[in-house]
Amino acid sequence: MSDLFVKICGLRTARDVDVAVEAGADAVGFVFAASPRTVDAETARRLSGRVPDHVLTVGVFRGQSMEEVRRLTEESGIRAVQFHGDEGPAYYEALRAPGRTLIRATAAGELPVRCGELDEDLLLLDAPDPGSGTPWNWASPRFTAPEGRWLLAGGLHPDNVRQAVEATGAWGVDVSSGVESERGVKSEQLIRAFVAAARG
């Protein structure tokens, strides 16, 4: 599955970004929500300027006002917006723009979900506590894979990502804490290992 979409999230340094791109990531994520990985718009703009056009730059938001999301998106120059909270349809409608990708992140649960329910382009299924590195039970027989293009996240790391993709049939994967040497600090070796393992 060499065409698996791979996103490396929570990047904060030029080296992190360069390594993710060199390793073959399809997307790199910058966190604007409260987190040990938070960056400001100026940092995200500087880092995203290092990213080639074929790699998607993503800003991650959670529980922020529409005005703040819009401002940070425009100031940073990122090309995709990922909502991690309970943002409703108005957010997706307001942030829709030519060339911009909208990603809806939601906690995995018993009920099946479908990509596009809020007019998003991509759906991300995460653990109940996003960014914690805690896995959820994606191997459960009760798990129903979403329809459409969706990313698997939550507790993934180089040693389990291939198994997770094979178990769920995910279109893509997203990792943050699973490629860190300590909370908020990325590991070059783990980033490279994750991308290689994800693509089998």
- Report d(CA 34, CA 32) in Å as an integer: 7
Annotation says 9 is catalytic: yes
Catalytic member of 9, 16, 26, 174: 9
Is residue 121 annotated as part of the catalytic site, yes or no?
Answer: no
Report the amino acid identity of residue 171: W
User: Are the beta carbons of 173 and 164 closer than 8 angstroms?
Assistant: yes
Angle between the 188-198 and 161-168 helix axes, to the nearest 10 degrees? 30
Strands 101-107 and 80-83: parallel
Neighbours of 195 (CB within 10 A): 24
In the block, residue with structure tokens 């966190």: 31
Q: From CA 116, how far away is CA 36, in angstroms rounded?
A: 30
Interhelix angle 41-48/66-76, nearest 10 degrees: 40
Choice among 16, 26, 126, 174 that is catalytic: 126
Residue entry with tokens 């703009």: 45
Residues carrying an active site annotation: 9, 126
